[in-house]
Amino acid sequence: MNLSDAVRKAAQILIEEQVEPTIRYLYVSRGWPNTPFYIPTFPPPEYLTPAIAGHHALEAERKHRPRRVYEDPKLYVFESTNFTLLLKVFSQLVESDRGAFVSRLLIPVRTPVPAVASKGGTRFPFFQGKMSVLALVAEFCVRTGHLKELLAATSEPKLPAESLAIMLQEIEEMIALNFNLFSDSELVSMPSALAPLREMAQRHTWASRRPRGRRTEPAEVNPHYVAGHEEVGREIVAAIDGIT
């Protein structure tokens, strides 16, 4: 498959993912989930199985930062139809075209595309009721060995975006559930790699401020501030702090 055809097919896959997300993590252990955030009643109701309890436990854990990292990365298994399709396209490329393919996938990270309203309402990851294809892009880059390229692309956006916040939530999910996707050196270097994105997002969380306890002093005005990005800026900062 040539690069142009692969990019065209990937674009269609990403469009479908934006319309109907396919990524999810399934609890596959036969034992009951062990988490301080969700404790099923015992004996459990007849309908409650370990798989269902694992789903509820994961929903509860997502509300806390930093996320708890599971010591056993096999308890939750990643599944995505569109990830499988992207991987199939990627595998049909010659080695010399794969870097360019990944670079094309990262365009909506460098220049974030708008998130879209979630049909499911609470399907993870989401922010302000919206979802983004960047969650799938993050999964693909990490699982194909292109984390470095993904993190480098996060230094380019000029404004906080909901899609970036959603992408970071997915990275939090990966680290929490399948930490073995990352090498020790990748985990150590992640704070510095995400520092430009964090700094950019933080700039847009405040317009002016005074030092605590010094209300009589003139307010410091933030020259970088652009109104309307405060909430998503705070979410990006919180997600990065949770990751690092």
Which is higher by pLDDT, 186 or 117? 186
Q: For residue 46, what pLDDT is reported? A: 78
Amino acid code (one letter) for 234 = R
Token reading at 137? 């892009």
Give the Cα separation of 191 and 195 in Å (integer). Answer: 6
Q: What pLDDT digit, counting tens, does each position of 17-58 carry?
A: 998 999 999 999 999 898 888 877 776 777 889 999 999 999
Least confident of 54-63, 95-104, 216-225: 216-225
pTM over 0.75: yes
Q: List for the chain the helix, strand, coil content (%; round to 5).
A: 50, 10, 40
Could you state, in order of their start, the residue ranges of all structural domains in the chain? 3-23+80-183
pLDDT at 133 over 70: yes
Residue 166 scores a pLDDT above 60 = yes
Sorting pLDDT into bands at 50, 70 and 90, what band is 238? very high
**237 class by beta-carbon count within 10 Å (0-12 exposed, 13-18 middle, 19+ buried):** buried
| DSSP sequence for 216-240 | TSPPEE-TT--TT-HHHHHHHHHHH
> Which residues, listed in sequence order, are joined to residue 24 by a DSSP beta bridge?
79
Amino acid at 159: L
* Residue 120 clears pLDDT 60, i.e. is over it: no
Q: How many CB atoms lie within 10 A of CB 110?
A: 13
pLDDT of residue 214: 63
- 102 confidence band (pLDDT: 50, 70, 90): very high
Longest dimension (CA), the chain: 67
Residue 244 in contact with residue 190, Cβ under 8 Å? yes
